[in-house]
């Protein structure tokens, strides 16, 4: 079936009333899950799986895909409003998104995030359609060495993204890497730095650490000012992105979409790498790089586009090869199989209605997300006006629940409180937490794949260079390293002072 015919066919099915309804439910639930952390898409999908038993396969998949998309988007809302990333991939959005909110430009940030996500999601869908076969095989080529080189690119960028002291950023990245080693060694299974505490055997949980480092510490810092009125430092300027915003965001969105799509295709990666790269690229090509971190739209539009292009990319290996690229995709795979559909090369021919209706519904899902979230922007912006005394207890509750619910463990709340205090002290002493969290996310993946590569290559380091894709990324990483270190020798950066001194 020709792509266009197939799409028409798919739209025909997707526009059926009950499919539209379930798509909407999925998107709504997904957004809710994205906004409320601790319950990631995987957990929610698992909970809702039984619901899908009684309905038709295509409808079920439409709803589940809607949830996935919605969750991806919802995570950015909290990043912008309260500096808490709903999930790992939204960490980058916090950098400029939150600052924009403080300057009264939350409307612009939220609106542009929604629009960038929509554009990225839609455009990358076309990529999915026409490039699926090529990319499917590309995904299979990725083995441990390729991951090492790719993640190395990410790690090099980590200290480049911040706005403070480069040296301190490197140190925080190291700290993040070290924290990532706590738990169990992924290659030999040995206990590492967990002091025998069973709750630490899988490492410090990402969600509690994020809740503490980003959410709780920010609240402590805000509380210091007795007269702290609220997050808004300036009056609310506008509810919608301005014409200038549109102009500034065009190229970031385009670049972000391309980046996000490619990274999403690769199995096992976290879209955070795509958003990091997008932010770094924008910062590098920008005429005013020093403004990054103070709240400019490019820092939101690009990474958000990258974020949302990712899922489309991730659907490629899933639908055409039956290979899930992350936990959520694995669940979608399970749900497809429960309904008797085996994704793979034969999916398009054996169950065209499934394939094409899923594609069509992804587009509709994107549209619904936009329709759902744009009106909400006004509401969210008003939320920022709530007096802080009432606002922050709710946020604290939200952090507590988010930390607790991941593993139903009190220990995670302790982790959250600990990192809340650590984060607060870090602010006082002029250290940024972004490099720490990014290294914390990327470090374990890097180490695991590095050591696995050496097992695969029987101990030879040549594997990193001999494999073409790996070599390319390695070269890229080297270039990035040189580019980011060079300024340190060229001119002295103004000594960074803590915002709190």
Q: Which is nearer to another protein, 3 or 410 (CB)?
A: 410
Applying CB under 8 A, which part among 58-66, 89-97, 100-108, 409-417 lies near another protein? Answer: 409-417
- Residue 446 CA to residue 187 CA, distance in Å, equals 12
- Pattern 326-355, binding to another protein, x per CB under 8 A? -xx-xx-xx--xxxx-xxxxx---------
Q: Which is nearer to another protein, 115 or 216 (CB)?
A: 216
Which distant-in-sequence residues (6+ apart) come within 8 Å of 24 by Cβ?
66, 368
- Beta-bridged to residue 183, according to DSSP, are 192
Applying CB under 8 A, which part among 13-21, 33-41, 72-80, 118-126 lies near another protein? Answer: 33-41
Q: Which is nearer to another protein, 72 or 297 (CB)?
A: 72
Contact status: 188 vs another protein (CB under 8 A): yes
Min CB(306)–another protein separation in Å: 24
Applying CB under 8 A, which part among 69-77, 81-89, 279-287, 387-395 lies near another protein? Answer: 387-395
Interaction residues for another protein, span 436-465 (CB under 8 A) = 447-448, 450-452, 454-456, 458-461
Q: Which is nearer to another protein, 338 or 479 (CB)?
A: 338
> Is residue 142 within 8 Å of 273, Cβ to Cβ?
no
Interaction residues for another protein, span 59-98 (CB under 8 A) = none
Of 332, 274, 335, 321, nearest to 302 by C-alpha is: 274
Residue from 1, 20, 25, 32 touching another protein (CB under 8 A): that is 32
Angle between helices 17-35 and 41-48 (to 10 degrees): 140
State the DSSP string of 253-303: HHHHHHHHHHHHHSTT--THHHHHHHHHHHHHH-S-GGGTTS--THHHHHH
Applying CB under 8 A, which part among 17-25, 271-279, 321-329, 472-480 lies near another protein? Answer: 321-329
SS3 assignment, position 360: helix
Min CB(89)–another protein separation in Å: 18
Interaction residues for another protein, span 460-479 (CB under 8 A) = 460-461
Instruction: Specify the DSSP element, H or E, that contains 192.
Output: strand 191-192
CA 219 to chain centre: 23
Total residues contacting another protein (rule CB under 8 A)? 112
- Residue 403 CA to residue 240 CA, distance in Å, equals 33
Long-range contacts, stretch 478-483, CB < 8 angstroms, 24+ apart: 480/153, 480/156, 480/157, 480/160, 480/280, 481/156, 483/284
Instruction: Specify the DSSP element, H or E, that contains 183.
Output: strand 183-184
Q: Which is nearer to another protein, 239 or 430 (CB)?
A: 430
Interaction residues for another protein, span 166-185 (CB under 8 A) = 167-168, 170-171, 174-175, 177-178, 181, 184-185
- Residue 260 CA to residue 274 CA, distance in Å, equals 5
Interaction residues for another protein, span 218-277 (CB under 8 A) = 219-220, 223-226, 267-268
> Is residue 91 within 8 Å of 307, Cβ to Cβ?
no
Applying CB under 8 A, which part among 60-68, 74-82, 187-195, 369-377 lies near another protein? Answer: 187-195
Min CB(393)–another protein separation in Å: 4
Interaction residues for another protein, span 196-215 (CB under 8 A) = 196, 198-199, 201-202
- Residue 22 CA to residue 61 CA, distance in Å, equals 9
Contact status: 190 vs another protein (CB under 8 A): yes
The position carrying tokens 């990193």 is: 464
Min CB(444)–another protein separation in Å: 9
Min CB(174)–another protein separation in Å: 4
Q: Which is nearer to another protein, 23 or 406 (CB)?
A: 406
SS3 content of the chain, % helix, strand, coil (to 5): 75, 0, 25
Of 367, 368, 354, 365, nearest to 6 by C-alpha is: 354
Min CB(182)–another protein separation in Å: 9
Contact status: 372 vs another protein (CB under 8 A): no
The CA angle 91-293-148, to the nearest 5 degrees, is: 45
């Amino acid at each position: 079936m020709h792509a266009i015919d197939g799409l028409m066919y798919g739209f025909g099915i997707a526009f059926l009333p009950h499919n539209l309804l379930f798509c909407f439910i999925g998107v709504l639930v997904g957004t809710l899950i994205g906004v409320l952390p601790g319950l990631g898409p995987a957990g929610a999908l698992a909970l809702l799986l039984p619901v899908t038993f009684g309905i038709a396969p295509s409808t079920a998949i439409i709803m589940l895909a809607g949830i996935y998309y919605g969750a991806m988007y919802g995570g950015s809302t909290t990043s912008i409003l309260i500096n808490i990333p709903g999930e790992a991939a939204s960490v980058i959005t916090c950098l400029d998104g939150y600052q924009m909110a403080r300057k009264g430009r939350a409307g612009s940030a939220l609106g542009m995030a929604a629009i960038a996500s929509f554009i990225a999601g839609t455009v990358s869908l076309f990529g999915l359609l026409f490039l699926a076969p090529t990319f499917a095989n590309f995904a299979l080529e990725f083995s441990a060495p390729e991951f090492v080189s790719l993640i190395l690119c990410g790690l090099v960028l980590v200290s480049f993204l911040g706005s403070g002291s480069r040296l301190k950023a490197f140190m925080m990245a190291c700290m993040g890497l070290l924290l990532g080693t706590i738990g169990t060694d992924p290659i030999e299974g040995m206990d590492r730095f967990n002091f025998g505490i069973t709750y630490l055997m899988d490492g410090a949980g990402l969600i509690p650490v994020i809740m503490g480092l980003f959410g709780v510490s920010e609240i402590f810092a805000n509380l210091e000012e007795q007269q702290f009125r609220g997050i808004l430092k300036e009056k609310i300027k506008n509810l919608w992105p301005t014409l200038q915003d549109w102009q500034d965001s065009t190229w970031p969105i385009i670049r972000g979409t391309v980046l996000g799509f490619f990274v999403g295709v690769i199995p096992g990666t976290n879209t955070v790498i795509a958003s990091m790269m997008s932010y770094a690229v924008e910062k590098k090509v920008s005429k005013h790089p020093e403004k990054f971190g103070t709240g400019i739209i490019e820092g939101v539009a690009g990474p958000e586009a990258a974020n949302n292009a990712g899922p489309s990319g991730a659907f490629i290996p899933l639908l055409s090869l039956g290979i899930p690229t992350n936990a959520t995709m694995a669940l979608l795979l399970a749900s497809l199989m429960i309904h008797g559909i085996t994704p793979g090369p034969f999916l398009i021919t054996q169950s065209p209605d499934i394939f094409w209706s899923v594609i069509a519904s992804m587009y509709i899902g994107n549209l619904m997300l936009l329709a759902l979230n744009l009106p909400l922007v006004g509401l969210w912006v008003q939320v920022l006006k709530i007096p802080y005394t009432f606002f922050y207890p709710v946020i604290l509750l939200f952090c507590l629940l988010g930390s607790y619910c991941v593993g139903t463990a009190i220990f995670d709340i302790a982790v959250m409180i600990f990192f809340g205090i650590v984060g607060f002290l870090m602010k006082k002493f002029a250290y940024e937490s972004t490099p720490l969290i990014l290294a914390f996310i990327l470090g374990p993946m890097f180490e695991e794949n590095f050591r696995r590569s050496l097992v695969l290559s029987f101990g030879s380091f040549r594997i990193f260079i001999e494999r073409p894709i790996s070599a390319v990324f390695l070269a890229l990483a080297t270039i990035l390293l040189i580019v980011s270190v060079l300024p340190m020798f060229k001119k002295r950066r103004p000594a960074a002072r803590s915002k709190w001194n």
